[in-house]
């Protein structure tokens, strides 16, 4: 046959025998991606079976097994068929017979697994042995101390020097802080005793260091210090805390953030940029003083917010820790929303894995998202009587501490 004859033959109408419907000429309707009928063999002998679509939904275990066996699969003794997914398709493309027009019809698509009827260890004797062996195992020897840096974080929040409340005034505040610093010494000793001693320390001042006179009218009648005295008390407390850490650790980092009581105000209105804050100013003064004695305090560094920001973030032993006062949102329950918004705005705390806040005068810790932790620090002040009168809640004062190491945070305590 010549080439021209080949072309002529190809162009001729097909015979009736050739025109007979066949599976090749009229394929079945394709299944949605991932629902093609078939069997997938998993490690250990388990089989995942995707069955062809049916008009009726699966009903019970016997029905499941029948549908799988209709595919030519034999269920071994001691194995079972379990339905793992059933999906209703209200408008599946379907063809009843070869050569018929395609129509849409509701069908059920089902996926089954053929698996052992029960794991081999689930017999009564095996379960008893499993529990016995787990509870009687020999404790592994304590691992060596982490090779990486372990950092102690000390959160000093809401002291509000000059404030008078149910727990006293300035004398009581100073004694309370001194007691917490003594407890801090004990805490460091305890960490060393268990092989978790920190190698660096971070002093985080979460704001509201002074009561101020411009937030509410009652401050002019209840405070027991003048404005300059409040600042002086806070500065000397900060020196005491940092001096203790500087004497114990080879590296110390001090940080603070803007706050509502610390903000410089005219009346109740804030003046100047967010950095116009008494807490930030006191930390700057301490930094200036330490800079004059590099031999004794050259290992102490300071982190302050940028001029137009109220928050900071620090790398603490490989973990980013953010510091904010917390007055940026109206109530504690809004902290998570505010933090997420900061991430969208690429603010200082956007990439923090741990966020430390103050302002709300009580302790709270909450895990958020994937591996993030929000810590609301307790207060060190003399009590928030107005809040107690309104809500009935009484906050417990304390100094918040936790550690950060190569594997994350631990040893969270209130001193």
275-332 confidence digits (pLDDT tens): 999 999 999 999 999 999 999 999 999 999 999 999 999 999 999 999 999 999 999 9
pLDDT band for position 17 (cuts 50, 70, 90) = very low
And the tokens for 69?
């066996």
Instruction: Assess contact for 79 and 117: CB atoms under 8 A.
Output: yes
Q: What's the rounded Cα separation, in Å, for the pair 390 and 392?
A: 6
Q: For the chain, what are the domain ranges? A: 29-121, 151-414
pLDDT of residue 267: 84
Least confident span in 13-17, 26-30, 352-356: 13-17
Q: What's the rounded Cα separation, in Å, for the pair 200 and 245?
A: 9
CA–CA distances in Å: residue 269 to residues 15, 215, 264, 325:
95, 9, 9, 18
pLDDT of residue 11: 44
Q: To the nearest whole percent, how much of the chain has pLDDT over 70? A: 86
pLDDT of residue 16: 43
The CATH homologous superfamily for domain 151-414 is Metallo-dependent phosphatases (3.60.21.10)
Q: For the residues 15-34, what does the mean pLDDT come to?
A: 51
pLDDT at residue 37 is higher than 90: no
pLDDT at residue 25 is higher than 60: no
pTM (2 d.p.): 0.70
pLDDT of residue 30: 72
pLDDT of residue 46: 85
- DSSP assigned state of 81: E
pLDDT at residue 100 is higher than 70: no
Q: To the nearest whole percent, how much of the chain has pLDDT over 90? A: 59
Instruction: Assess contact for 140 and 132: CB atoms under 8 A.
Output: no
pLDDT at residue 2 is higher than 90: no
Q: How many residues does the chain have?
A: 415
pLDDT of residue 7: 43
Q: What is the pLDDT of residues 104-141, one digit of tens each?
A: 888 899 999 998 887 666 666 777 888 888 888 777 77
CA gyration radius, the chain: 35
Q: What is the pLDDT of residues 243-266, one digit of tens each?
A: 999 999 999 999 999 999 999 988
- Start-to-end C-alpha separation, the chain: 101
pLDDT at residue 38 is higher than 80: yes
């Amino acid at each position: 046959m010549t080439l021209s004859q080949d072309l002529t033959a190809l162009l001729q109408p097909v015979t009736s025998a050739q025109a007979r419907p066949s599976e090749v000429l009229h394929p079945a309707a394709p299944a949605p991606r991932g629902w093609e009928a078939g069997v997938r063999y998993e490690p250990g002998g388990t089989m995942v079976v995707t069955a062809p679509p049916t008009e009726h939904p699966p009903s019970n275990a016997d029905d499941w097994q029948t549908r799988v066996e209709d595919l030519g699969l034999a269920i071994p003794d001691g194995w079972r068929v379990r339905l793992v997914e059933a999906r209703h398709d209200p408008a599946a493309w379907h063809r009843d017979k070869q050569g018929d027009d395609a129509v849409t019809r509701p069908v059920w698509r089902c996926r089954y697994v053929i698996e052992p009827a029960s794991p081999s260890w689930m017999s009564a004797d095996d379960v008893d042995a499993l529990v016995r062996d787990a509870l009687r195992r020999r404790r592994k020897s304590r691992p060596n101390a982490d090779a990486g840096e372990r950092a102690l974080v000390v959160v000093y929040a809401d002291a509000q020097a000059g404030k008078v409340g149910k727990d006293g005034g300035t004398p009581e505040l100073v004694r309370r802080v001194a007691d917490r610093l003594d407890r801090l010494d004990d805490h460091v000793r305890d960490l060393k005793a268990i092989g978790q001693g920190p190698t660096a320390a971070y002093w985080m001042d979460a704001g509201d260091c002074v009561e101020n006179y411009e937030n509410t009218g009652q401050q002019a009648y209840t405070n027991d210090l003048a404005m300059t005295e409040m600042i002086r008390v806070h500065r000397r407390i900060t020196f005491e805390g940092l001096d203790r850490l500087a004497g114990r650790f080879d590296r110390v980092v001090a940080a603070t953030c803007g706050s509502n009581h610390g903000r410089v105000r005219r009346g109740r209105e804030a003046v100047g940029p967010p950095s116009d804050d008494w807490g930030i100013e006191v930390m700057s003064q301490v930094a200036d003083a330490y800079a004059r004695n590099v031999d004794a305090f050259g290992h102490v560094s300071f982190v302050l917010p940028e001029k137009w920001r109220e928050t900071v973030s620090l790398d603490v032993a490989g973990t980013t820790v953010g510091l904010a006062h917390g007055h940026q949102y109206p109530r504690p329950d809004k902290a998570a929303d505010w933090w997420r918004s900061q991430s969208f705005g690429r603010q200082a705390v956007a990439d923090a894995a741990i966020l430390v806040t103050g302002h709300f005068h009580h302790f709270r810790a909450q895990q958020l998202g994937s591996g993030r932790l929000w810590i609301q620090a307790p207060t060190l002040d003399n009590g928030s009587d107005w809040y107690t009168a309104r809500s009935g809640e009484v906050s417990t004062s304390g100094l918040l501490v936790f550690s950060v190491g190569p594997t994350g945070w631990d040893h969270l305590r209130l001193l």
